[in-house]
Amino acid sequence: MDIKIGCDPEFFLKKDGKFVSAFGMVEGTKANPLPVPNGAVQVDGMALEFISDAGTTSEEFLGNINSVMKNFRDIIAEEYEFVFSPVAEFGAEYIASQPPEAKILGCDPDYNAYTGLANPKPNGEVPFRTASGHIHIGWTENEDPLHPEHFEACRMLTKQLDHVLGIGEQFWDDDTVRKQMYGALGAFRPKPYGVEYRVLSNAWLRDDRLIEFIFDTVKLATEQLLDGETYYPPKSLAAPKFGVHDSYAYFKDRTTRTKVKHKAALVDSVFYPRYHTLRYGSVSMSIQKKAQEYMDAYGGSIDLWIDTARKELGEAV
């Protein structure tokens, strides 16, 4: 089965150099998005949001995003500037003047991959709003999002992505304000088709090369998890009621749609030898190479990325 990747980023509008509310500017809402070619568009509070169709290649992923953005540009008047900023400072008075619907923050709860618990709802009594760049990864279909096995598979992939994108985000996004409300490491939401990785801001949508890098990294990290290679410390694999063996076999089973009667036996013969030899806090060489190419272009340091990942996440969990 192909791994499918989509996104639902938010962004802000500016007029005459000032942030303005997008509420009411498009017909689409969270409950009823407005379909457009390759996705859908909607308002999200005072921001705009779009949903891109899932793609199986970086070219398709980028093409879907650009197609939806073009349709958004046709809907919104040219006098408004599209701003992919993680934070928009509107001011308390301006926010207070908005309709109640525009001031609502959040929707369904998301979860912490390291605790398995729901994250607290953010405080809306602030003079700013934040925007995210969530990634949706699909490898299955029609799953119960809260089924313990599927939920654990989502936790595993979220931890995997934290060690490459959650930590790596510092190279293209220096924001710290949004992280006080949204996007803590480990943030995810289980979905019937897979998982929504909710750590990243919208800053990765500023550059086409970075968009393709995000796709390639997510796909590679997912594929390598399916092969039994984790980038995070082995002890963080533990989950209530499901051990390492059950989790790996379940993840593989749900991706290939094959029937596995003896999951522990399968994982012992296929996955565990590789898992057992993984270095603590390791990051795969293929991920390192891909990241290095991007970081070289932008003057970053992949060594710092890896060292930080090992220190901040390796010690935290």
Query: Nearest 5°: phi and psi at 54?
Result: -70, 145
60, exposed or middle or buried, with CB in 10 Å at 0-12, 13-18, 19+?
A: middle
Q: What is the average per-residue pLDDT within 24-38?
A: 92
The 3-state secondary structure of 191-228, one letter per residue: ECCEEEECCCEHHHHHCHHHHHHHHHHHHHHHHHHHCC
Distance of alpha carbon 209 from the chain centroid:
17
CA distance linking residue 102 with residue 257, whole number of Å: 42
The answer on pLDDT for 210 being more than 80 is yes
Which domain, by its residues, includes 291?
Answer: 4-316
pLDDT, residue 31, reads 85
> 182, 45 in Cβ contact below 8 A?
no
| Residue closest to 167 by CA, chosen among 304, 6, 10, 8 | 304
pLDDT for 111: 95
Highest mean pLDDT among 204-208, 229-233, 247-251: 204-208
**pLDDT exceeds 50 at position 229:** yes
Compute φ and ψ for 12, nearest 5 degrees: -110, 170
DSSP class of residue 32?
S
CB 153 within 8 Å of CB 144: no
Q: Which of 121, 147, 171 is nearest to 254 (CA)?
A: 147
pLDDT band at 104 (very low <50, low <70, confident <90, very high): confident
Percent of the chain with pLDDT over 90: 54
H/E stretch holding 304: helix 302-316
**Total number of domains in the chain:** 1
3-state secondary structure of 274: helix
* Predicted model pTM: 0.82
Average pLDDT over residues 89-101: 93
Confidence class for position 288, pLDDT limits 50, 70, 90: low
Q: Which of 51-55, 88-92, 102-106 comes out lowest in average pLDDT?
A: 102-106
Average pLDDT, rounded, for the chain: 80
pLDDT of 215 above 90:
yes
pLDDT digits (tens, 9 = 90+) for 119-133: 988 877 899 999 999
Identify the residue with better confidence: 312 or 59: 59
Tell me which residue has tokens 């293929």: 286
pLDDT digits (tens, 9 = 90+) for 125-160: 899 999 999 999 999 999 999 999 999 999 999 999
Residue 81 phi/psi, 5° resolution? -90, 135
150 residue type, one letter: H
Distance between CA atoms of residues 271 and 263, nearest Å: 11
